[in-house]
Structure 1
Amino acid sequence: MSDPLTEIVRLLQPRAVFANVISGKGSWAVRYSEYGQPSFCIVLEGSCLLAVDGHEPITISEGDFVLLPTTPGFTISSFSPAPPVFIDPKVVAGGRGELRHGEIHGAPDMRSLGGAFMFDRADPGLLVSLLPSVVHVQGSARLAQLVQMVGEEYEDQKPGSEFMLSRLVGMLLIEAMRLTAGGGAPPGLLRGLGDERLASVLKQLHAQVDHAWTVGEMASVAALSRSAFYDRFTRAVGVAPMEYLLGWRMEIAKQLLRHEKLPVAEVAERVGYGSTSTFSVAFSRCVGQSPSRYGRSD
């Protein structure tokens, strides 16, 4: 049986870009401009205020994990007002040691490890579609361990660090998605996986993407009537069952065309199309260009 979360992370191929320890003492505030790529933070000690643009400020404390899939502008600060220091995350390098804000001397009121990552292959919009705009997980020891290891690998730059970082960030993403799955997730795959009956269908769709699925067959897997399944799937996942399957087939097709450089006919067969022309029409409608042109572009 295929695991959808593993497939998605494998398709994205995440890699860490930078990581830094940030600390603050007394009255302090740091304003980060919009970054546009996914970023993460784990609070190592103490607590502070996080205000993400478009959202109410939240308190984040020791052990809390935050993931921002698109990283809009945000401010982290002490609980007492202070003029902010402005930082552009696109020009801040990681691995430079601890960045201290507020009072220089004495034990900090807050220490956190934050960083960002990019994806080598798939459009990061795939991740954005799965997660809330602000993921806040409280008290996850596993996430704390993973983020700590990301920081250590980035700082030490030992042989094999690039490989280790890509694997650690993939594990971090899966753990964050696991903890978000269910009612707390927006309509999408994660909410669907939080529903036991829909999860069985989603796993089989991913395991047999080349199968000639019908809504009736999916409903049978979910042990629901066709209409009940259709309504439940559409509410949880945000799109109709066949539309979801089409979108996932096209994500796989894009990778096979651009990165595996497979012929269009073979890609069509792998993603469940008996006719190359039918696949080409569907791909062009979804992606905005023909499969052959997409495969030739960088």
Structure 2
Amino acid sequence: MVDPLAEVISLLRPRAVYSKVISGAGSWAVRYSDFGQPSFCTMLEGECVLAVDGQEPLTLVAGDFRLMPATPGFTLSGFAPAVPVFLDPKLQPPPEGEIRHGTREGPPDVRMLGGYFDFDSPDAALMVSLLPTLLHVRGIGRLPLLVQLVREESIAQRPGRELVLGRLIEVLLVEALRGAPSEGAPPGLLRALADTRLAAAMRHMHGDPARSWTVAELAKKAALSRSAFFERFSRAVGLPPMEYLLAWRMAIAKDLLSRSDFALAEVAERVGYSSASTFSTAFSRYVGQPPSHYARQGGASPK
């Protein structure tokens, strides 16, 4: 049976990893602008405060891991009062060596290994919307090890570097997402997969997206009544079942079209359309341009 979490992460196609060691001592604070790309951090030693826009501030301690799939603005600081130094990752080139905040002399109060990467998926926005804004994981011993492997691979110029980094980030994402608490999670993939009945229906949707699913059939897979399934799915995922299925089919279609080695009829068949023309009509309505134009542009969305 297909694993929806693994499928979503695989389709995101993470790449272009950058990592850095960050430390701080004394009185310090930095304010990062809205970055929009995925970022991660594992705490090596000490403690600090993370205040993400729209979220309650939290204290990060040694061994903690945090992931933001579409990094919003946030402030990172020590515990002593300080005026934040503004940083914009999109405008400033990545610094070389360890980044030190606050007092330069003496040992640091806190050290962390952080970084960011890109999603190469043409439909990353949809899949990122199914993930929490902030993932804070504590006590998962493999995460710091994975981040260290990412760091070592990112600074080495060895054959197969990009392939290895992509696979490491995929494993890092899976480990972080399945280690995240499902209780109190916002609507999205994690919340739905934590519900065993909804997870059964989602596995069938992802396992056979070309099938002409109905709400009644999916409700039967979830062992729920049609109305109970519809309400429960919509509340957990944030989308009604058929809207989610359409979005997933179009995400697959975009991925196939962006590769330029699939005929239109084959793409149509893989995502559940009886002909290239019916698929073209549905794709144009959903995306805003015909699939042939989308493929020629290399998967670029219309302006």
Which TM-score tier does this pair reach, normalised by the shorter chain?
A: over 0.9
Give the structure 2 partner of residue 121 of structure 1: 121
* Distance in 2 (alpha carbons) for counterparts of 1:56 and 1:237: 23
State the shift of 1:42 in Å.
Answer: 1.0
| SS of 1:125 mapped into structure 2 | helix
RMSD (Å), alpha carbons:
1.8
Matched, 1:53 2:53: yes
Q: Which amino acid aligns with 1:15?
A: R
Give the structure 1 partner of residue 187 of structure 2: 187
State the shift of 1:113 in Å.
Answer: 0.6
Give the structure 1 partner of residue 134 of structure 2: 134
**Mapped contact 2:31–2:76 kept (Cα < 8 A):** yes
Matched, 1:290 2:290: yes
**Mapped contact 1:181–1:193 kept (Cα < 8 A):** no
Matched, 1:41 2:14: no
Q: Indicate the larger mover: 158-167 or 89-98.
A: 89-98
Per-residue CA deviations over 1:165-222 (Å, capped at 9, x if unaligned) read 1111111111222123633432122211110011111111111111121211111111
Matched, 1:215 2:209: no
* Distance in 2 (alpha carbons) for counterparts of 1:208 and 1:90: 39
Percent of pairs with identical residues: 60
**Structure 2: runs of 5+ lacking an equivalent:** 299-303
* Distance in 1 (alpha carbons) for counterparts of 2:145 and 2:78: 25
Give the structure 2 partner of residue 278 of structure 1: 278
| SS of 2:268 mapped into structure 1 | helix
State the shift of 1:94 in Å.
Answer: 4.7
Per-residue CA deviations over 1:99-121 (Å, capped at 9, x if unaligned) read 11222232211000110010223
**Mapped contact 1:18–1:95 kept (Cα < 8 A):** no
* Distance in 2 (alpha carbons) for counterparts of 1:179 and 1:70: 19
State the shift of 1:93 in Å.
Answer: 4.7
Give the structure 2 partner of residue 266 of structure 1: 266
* Distance in 1 (alpha carbons) for counterparts of 2:10 and 2:95: 26
* Distance in 1 (alpha carbons) for counterparts of 2:191 and 2:103: 43
TM-score by length of 2: 0.92
Give the structure 1 partner of residue 81 of structure 2: 81
* Distance in 2 (alpha carbons) for counterparts of 1:186 and 1:207: 24
State the shift of 1:15 in Å.
Answer: 1.3
**Mapped contact 2:260–2:295 kept (Cα < 8 A):** no
* Distance in 1 (alpha carbons) for counterparts of 2:85 and 2:243: 46
* Distance in 2 (alpha carbons) for counterparts of 1:186 and 1:105: 42
**Mapped contact 1:273–1:279 kept (Cα < 8 A):** yes
How many residue pairs align between the two structures?
298
* Distance in 1 (alpha carbons) for counterparts of 2:81 and 2:221: 56
Please give the residue correspondences for 1:4-15 in structure 2 after superposition, counting only pairs within 5 Å. 4-15=4-15
Q: Indicate the larger mover: 80-89 or 198-207.
A: 80-89
Per-residue CA deviations over 1:60-111 (Å, capped at 9, x if unaligned) read 1111111122222222111001233332212455572211122223221100
